[in-house]
């Protein structure tokens, strides 16, 4: 008889406080999330101290809500999962401390989770990941191609050398005067405009799988500043379309090359930028030419930071024997291994 596992998971790496209960790593029993976007919008980005204070206010309230929504008690739980890193150290500490406290109080195993593994593992809510697998991880802080030869084995084969894709969206959006976070707004603008501006696509033809978006971001910002100095008008929708076309082309080209060089059964796109319609459409079209690969785009509602994805990753880690003890600490620099294969 198959064991039923209920894992309560905590996510507090940035500006979302989230607690979830996940069954067997594939079913969300409850998910309670408090967003801080409005608190950070006036600053144009996340303020670490503000984020930490909000996490303190919300974490126990959300833990109670997740249990109540699931109609479970702590005695029904199998383990406690928590994001250990990467992220803002103060924010991470709130989730780690809450998870350790609950695990200790109720004599439950503690399972530390790497944040990006959570984003990728959320694909299991769509369908089971088949291995070997490849994931394109795109968020505000990370742009990576992650090869998974088997379950619970993660190897970065491509990484950003400077700005992540999501970071570039926010910086370009700020220059356009858009409200933080700018990714969704730029995506909407891109669908209204035409890619009429010639913008760079760094490293696209490089044999490696690394990314670089700093030059693209700078090109957009310089174009806007130069036009402003000359008194010229920039069509923001067309510029957004041009910017997004450059980002998407690089991401899809690198991903296609990796899929052709590493035979995999599943391909996952995950992270906050995975909600971008332009990227999803381009990846879907690219995957139609590779029908042997099972395409698992993480659901849009789970693309951003949330505890359900941490619960999915914690279930995998729990089954592979990963445990934390009472000395577990936040690790803001925690990363997958990088390897050139």
Element (DSSP H or E) covering residue 102: helix 89-105
- CB of 254 closer than 8 Å to CB of 145: yes
47 among annotated binding-site residues: no
139 among annotated binding-site residues: yes
115 among annotated binding-site residues: yes
138 among annotated binding-site residues: yes
Of 80, 87, 119, 121, give the one whose Cα is nearest residue 102: 80
119 among annotated binding-site residues: yes
Element (DSSP H or E) covering residue 81: strand 79-85
Backbone angles phi, psi at 35, to 5 degrees: -95, 155
By DSSP bridging, strand 16-23 and strand 27-35 are antiparallel
Instruction: Quickly tell me which residue has 């894709």 as its tokens.
Output: 165
222 among annotated binding-site residues: no
226 among annotated binding-site residues: no
Of 325, 331, 318, give the one whose Cα is nearest residue 100: 325
CA 320/CA 316 separation, integer angstroms: 6
321 among annotated binding-site residues: no
Output Rg (C-alpha) for the chain, integer angstroms: 20
CA 104/CA 111 separation, integer angstroms: 12
183 among annotated binding-site residues: yes
305 among annotated binding-site residues: yes
Q: Tokens representing 199?
A: 């913008």
232 DSSP assignment: P
8 among annotated binding-site residues: no
Q: Which residues line the annotated binding site? A: 115, 119, 137-141, 170, 183, 187, 276, 305
Annotated binding-site residues for Fe cation read 115, 119, 305
- Summarize the annotated binding site for substrate as residue ranges: 137-141, 170, 183, 187, 276
């Amino acid at each position: 008889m198959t064991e039923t596992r209920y894992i309560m998971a905590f996510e507090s790496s940035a500006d979302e406080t989230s607690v979830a209960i996940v069954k067997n790593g594939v079913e969300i029993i409850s998910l309670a999330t408090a967003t801080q976007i409005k608190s950070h919008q006036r600053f144009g980005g996340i303020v670490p101290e503000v984020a930490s204070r909000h996490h303190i206010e919300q974490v126990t309230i959300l833990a109670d809500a997740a249990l109540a929504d699931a109609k479970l008690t702590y005695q029904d739980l199998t383990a406690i999962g928590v994001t250990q890193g990467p992220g803002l150290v103060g924010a991470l500490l709130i989730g780690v401390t809450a998870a350790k406290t609950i695990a200790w109080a109720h004599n439950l195993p503690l399972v530390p989770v790497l944040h990006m593994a959570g984003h990728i593992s959320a694909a299991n809510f769509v369908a089971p990941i088949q291995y070997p697998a490849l994931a394109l991880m795109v968020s505000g802080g990370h742009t990576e191609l992650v090869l998974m030869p088997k379950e619970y084995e993660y190897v970065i084969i491509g990484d950003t050398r400077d700005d992540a894709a999501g970071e570039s969206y926010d910086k370009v959006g700020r220059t356009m005067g858009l409200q933080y976070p700018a990714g969704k707004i730029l995506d909407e603008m891109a669908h209204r405009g035409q890619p009429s501006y010639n913008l760079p696509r760094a490293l696209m033809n490089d044999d490696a799988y690394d990314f670089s978006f700093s030059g693209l971001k700078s090109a957009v910002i310089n174009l806007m500043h130069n036009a402003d100095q000359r008194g010229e008008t920039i069509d923001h929708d067309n510029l957004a379309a041009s910017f997004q076309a450059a980002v998407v082309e690089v991401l899809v080209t690198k991903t296609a090359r990796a899929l052709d060089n590493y035979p995999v059964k599943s391909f996952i796109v995950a992270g906050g930028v995975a909600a971008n319609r332009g990227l999803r459409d381009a990846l879907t079209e690219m995957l139609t030419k590779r029908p042997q690969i099972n395409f698992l785009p993480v659901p849009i509602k789970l693309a951003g930071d949330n505890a359900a994805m941490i619960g999915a990753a914690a279930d995998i880690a729990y089954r592979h024997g990963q445990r934390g003890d009472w000395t577990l600490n936040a690790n803001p620099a925690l990363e997958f291994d990088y390897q050139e294969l």
